[in-house]
Amino acid sequence: MAVTQTAHLIATQPRRSVVAASWTALGALLLRDAVVLNKHLWEFVLRTLIQPFLLCFVFLFVFPKIGQGIGGHGDAAESAFATILVPGVVGISVMFQGVQSIALAMAQEFGFTREIEDRVQAPCPIWLVAAEKVISGTLQGLLSAAIVLPIASVVHAGGVHAQLALHWGIIVTLVPLAAVAMSGLGLLLGTSFEPRNIGLMFGFIILPITFLGGTYYSFDRLAPVRLGGVHWLQVLVLANPLIYVNEGMRAAFTAGPHLHLYVIYPVLVGFAALFLGLGLRNFRRRVLS
């Protein structure tokens, strides 16, 4: 079969370069997400606040009231626990935001609606469609941190006070890093689980991560849990990305003890890279056949 390039006439050519088209596509996808968020703003705010509110209400209001305060009796001990819990509540909110805004949204789009098929027709590389989800998830994570912190620091019984100390240098770097890492986790989960298995994801991934992620205790408090001199629980939780997020929040919002920042930053960067790498790979595989 004779194949000559010259005889092949081109009908219509692309109007713009891939780079130019990708930038506008990214902008449009973000704009779309912002419009959708704005439509459901109250839903977003309530969804974001319900868990932190319940945690603070039960642990910092009800428990001290009924003489079941955690961290020992008396305002001082209860306040010390509040100081540990409040940053943990912010951390866990950032994580849930990543899971909610990405993993659950993807489960729907990959699932029965197949909306994802339209989204990946955007005139840009496929990875950018996934990356946009992460950017949008990160922004929502930051937004949720901003609304959770003030609420978490006021829902307390009288006499109980979280000792907050804002370290702005850490806040403006670590909170975004945590939000990126948790959005990456959302992308990885959303692309790894079949839509019908989302329940499994909550039971076997999200619950263990939240309960063993240092939301209700700081890392150093786990030291007494050991077996023959091995601090096994401390070792175990180090595999949990949430512990670095929560300890980071403690470093950012309190003067209390926390994992060393030299550990928190690189490990979170590592988790973010791992989640994003695997998540983008999974996304590509799910979309292309």
Partner 1 sequence: MGPSRSDTSALAPPGGRRREAVIWTEQLQKRYPGAEAPAVDHLDLEVFAGEIFGLLGPNGAGKTTTAGMLTTRVVPSGGRAEVGGVDVTRHPALAKQLSGIVSQQNTLDRQLSVWENLYFHGRLFGMGGRRSRQRADELLEQFQLARWATASVYALSGGMAQRLMVARAIFHEPAVLFLDEPTAGLDPQSRLVLWDLLGELNAEGQTILLTTHYMEEADQLCARVAIMDHGRLLALDTPTALKQSVGADTVLTLKAAGDAEALREKMAGALTGVTGSRSIEGGAQLQVRGAERLVPRAVAAAEALGVDLIDLSVAEPSLETVFINLTGKELRD
* Binding stretches for partner 1 (CB under 8 A): 1-4, 7-16, 18, 20-22, 24-25, 27-29, 31-32, 35-36, 39, 108, 113-118, 120-126, 287-289
Question: Cβ 94 to partner 1, closest distance in Å?
Answer: 23
Q: Which is nearer to partner 1, 103 or 122 (CB)?
A: 122
The secondary structure of residue 59, as a DSSP letter, is I
Q: State the minimum distance, in angstroms, from the CB of residue 154 to partner 1.
A: 33
Q: 69 CB contacts (<8 Å, ≥6 apart)?
A: 63, 77, 78, 81, 160
Closest approach, Cβ 193 to partner 1, in A, equals 20
Q: Which is nearer to partner 1, 9 or 239 (CB)?
A: 9
CA-based max dimension of the chain: 90
**Nearer to partner 1 among residue 27 and residue 270 (C-beta):** 27
What gap in Å lies between CA 266 and CA 146, rounded to an integer?
24
Residue 123 CB, shortest distance to partner 1, in Å, is 4
Q: Closest distance between partner 1 and the C-beta of residue 86, in Å?
A: 33
Measured from the CB of residue 147, what is the shortest distance to partner 1 in angstroms?
22
Measured from the CB atom, the residue of 119 and 167 that comes closer to partner 1 is: 119
- In DSSP notation, 229-268 reads TB-HHHHHHTT-HHHHHHHHHHHHHBSS--S-HHHHHHHH
Q: Which residues contact 96 (CB under 8 A, 6 or more apart)?
A: 48, 51, 144
Q: Which is nearer to partner 1, 40 or 65 (CB)?
A: 40
How many whole angstroms separate alpha carbon 186 and alpha carbon 264? Answer: 20
Q: Which is nearer to partner 1, 129 or 268 (CB)?
A: 129
DSSP state of 147: H
Of 71, 92, 207, 82, residue with least CA distance to 144: 92
